[in-house]
Amino acid sequence: MQKRGRLPKSLIVTADDFGASLEVNSAVEQAHREGILTAASLMVAGDAAGDAVERARRLPDLGVGLHLVLVEGRPILPPEQIPALVDASGQFRTDMVRTALTIFASPSARRQLAAEIEAQFAAFAATGLKLDHVNAHKHFHLHPTIASAILRAGKRHGMTAMRAPIEPPAVIAAIDGTPRRAGIEHLWAKALRRRLRKAGVTVPDQVFGLAWSGALTSAKLRPLLDRLPPGLTEIYAHPAQGPYPGSAPAYLYAEELAALTDPLAKAAITRNCITCGRFTDF
C-alpha cells in the first residue's frame, strides 16, 4: 500500500463569487489566463452572472461550478414562492442562524429550500457549461438539511464534486504563527466529507481559505504552496479588481488577485511538483 507521505500533491485553485460583479469576473479571467486559478464557482443569480458565463465560454480550461446562494443574496425563484427564506425586500436573509433553525424546524421551509436549490441547479444547466463542482455561499452546505437537498438535486444534475471545508490548523499556524484549534465547523465538515464520499462525490482531502478568507495574500499563498500536504487540496480565494456593491469592506480583493498571478506562486507549484487542475481532472 502506498504510504500517505508518498502521495502526489494535487491542487485546485478556486475563485468563489464568480458572477457577483464585473470586478470579480475580470479578476477571475485574469487569474486564470495569467496565474494559477483553475476553477471558479458561479453565482447564477449574481448581478454579473451573464457576463461570467460569456467569459467562461472563452475559457475552456476553467472548471466552473455552482456557488449555491441561500443567504445574503438574490434568489432565483420569486420571493413569494420562498417566503421562509427571504426578507421583506425579497432577498435571502442575512441571519444564518435564524435561517438554519427555520429550515430545521419547518417542513414548509424545507420544501422551499429544495425548490430554490433545484432552481439554481437548473439555472446553471441552462448556461450550457459543464458542472465542475458545487459549494455554497458562506459554506451553508455544512447544514445537514441543506446538504441533503443538494445531494438530491445534484444527483439529477450530474454533480460529481463538492467542497467540504476541512482546513488543517497546523499548516496555518506554521505560516502565520497563530495557534489555532479546530472548532465545531471542522467536525461538521468531516461529517460532510464522509457523507459525500459515501455518495460517490469527489471531495478534496483538505481545503485552505477559511482562516485567511479575504486575506489570502502572496505572503500567505507562497509558503502555503511550499507546505502543501499530500493528496488533493483545494485553495479558494475571492479575487476582484477592487471593491464592488455588496463586497465585504475588509476583504483584500486586489491583493488576492495579485497573489494568484504572482510568478513566484507558479514557481512554487513547479518546485514542489504540484499537479494543478479542475475538480473534473481528479
| Per-residue tens of pLDDT for the chain, all 282 residues | 334 446 899 999 999 999 999 999 999 999 999 999 999 999 999 999 999 999 999 999 999 999 999 999 999 999 999 999 999 999 999 999 999 999 999 999 999 999 999 999 999 999 999 999 999 999 999 999 999 999 999 999 999 999 999 999 999 999 988 766 666 788 899 999 999 999 999 999 999 999 999 999 999 999 999 999 999 999 999 999 999 998 899 999 999 999 999 999 999 999 999 999 999 999
pTM for the full model?
0.93
**Distance between CA atoms of residues 100 and 144, nearest Å:** 10
Asked if 16 contacts 238 with a C-beta cutoff of 8 angstroms, the reply is yes
- Whole-angstrom CA distances from 45 to 7, 50, 66, 159, 215 are 39, 9, 11, 19, 25
Q: Give the pLDDT score at 2.
A: 39
**Contact between 258 and 34 (Cβ < 8 Å):** no
| In contact, 272 and 225? CB cutoff 8 Å | yes
The span from the CA of 225 to the CA of 235, in Å, is: 10
Are the C-beta atoms of 159 and 201 separated by less than 8 Å? yes
Question: For 229, what's the count of Cα atoms within 13 Å in the CB-facing half-sphere?
Answer: 19
pLDDT for the residue 176:
87
The Cα angle at residue 212 between residues 19 and 266, in degrees rounded to 5: 75
* Cα–Cα dist 241/186, whole Å: 31
Q: Which residue in 279, 241, 273, 2 sits closest to 163, CA to CA? A: 279
pLDDT digits (tens, 9 = 90+) for 14-65: 999 999 999 999 999 999 999 999 999 999 999 999 999 999 999 999 999 9
pLDDT (0 to 100) of residue 161: 98
Scan for cell 499548516, then name that residue: 171
Alpha-carbon torsion 11, 70, 159, 48, what sign?
A: negative
Number of domains in the chain: 1
**Helix/strand/coil (H/E/C) assignment for every residue in 13-74:** EEEEEECCCHHHHHHHHHHHHHCCCCEEEECCCCCCHHHHHHHHHCCCCCEEEEEECCCCCC
| pLDDT attached to residue 1 | 33
Alpha carbon 12 to its chain's center: 11
Supply the range of the domain harboring residue 70: 4-281
How does strand 206-208 pair with strand 134-136?
A: unpaired
Q: What CATH number has the domain bearing residue 131?
A: 3.20.20.370
- Residue 188 grid coordinates: 461538521
Of the candidates 243, 251, 249, 167, the residue with the CA atom closest to the CA atom of residue 217:
251
Give, as one character, the DSSP assignment of residue 136. Answer: E
Confidence (pLDDT) at 4:
45
d(CA 159, CA 152): 10
